[in-house]
């Protein structure tokens, strides 16, 4: 699987920012059609602890990640429930094994040996952005599930 660069990720973000609501919806529908199991998982009660703003943000971030991976590697095989479950379990095990006190430091383990560092940096920045800002979209409780969801998605779509 080819490396998804920050340049591609930024281009996808710019592209989506210029889309009308209708164009954005079309992209979400394409994502749902090409990755039905992954899409259903992202919209499941599995993420019920997230508030509505965080759920919308996770959807937006997952669309960016998916479009970036597809732009780089072409169409992908549809992810299975088993792949998602195994990847998610492995990612939570890495997070739980960390002895670091702050969340940013707990994420360092994910970068070691990763072939998709820019996608992981994108996920990290997304959950840690404006960490001290009370108006931040991602709450303290939302950081972990959003990061793990994006990391799991990267794992299953890139074979990481």
Q: Is 114 exposed, middle or buried (0-12, 13-18, 19+ CB in 10 A)?
A: middle
DSSP string for residues in 63-98:
HHHHHHHHHHH-S-PPPPHHHHHHHHHHHHHHHHH-
pLDDT of residue 132: 64
pLDDT of residue 130: 66
What is the spatial distance between Cα 2 and Cα 58, in angstroms, rounded to a whole number? 24
pLDDT of residue 160: 76
pLDDT, mean of each 10-residue run, the chain (160 residues): 96 96 96 97 92 96 98 96 98 94 92 93 90 78 96 94
pLDDT of residue 135: 75
pLDDT of residue 131: 59
């Amino acid at each position: 699987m080819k490396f998804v660069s920050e340049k591609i990720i930024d281009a996808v973000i710019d592209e989506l920012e210029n889309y009308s609501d209708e164009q954005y919806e079309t992209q979400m529908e394409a994502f749902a059609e090409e990755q039905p199991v992954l899409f259903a998982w992202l919209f499941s009660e599995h993420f019920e602890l997230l508030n509505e703003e965080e759920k919308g943000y996770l959807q937006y971030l997952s669309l960016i990640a998916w479009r970036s991976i597809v732009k780089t590697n072409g169409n992908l095989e549809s992810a299975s429930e088993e792949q998602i479950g195994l990847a998610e379990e492995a990612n939570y095990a890495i997070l739980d094994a960390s002895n670091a006190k702050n969340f940013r430091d707990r994420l360092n383990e994910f970068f070691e040996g990763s072939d998709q560092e820019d996608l992981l940096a994108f996920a990290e920045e997304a959950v840690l952005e404006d960490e001290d800002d009370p108006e931040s979209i991602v709450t303290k409780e939302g950081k972990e599930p959003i990061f793990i969801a994006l990391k799991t998605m990267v794992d299953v779509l890139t074979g990481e």
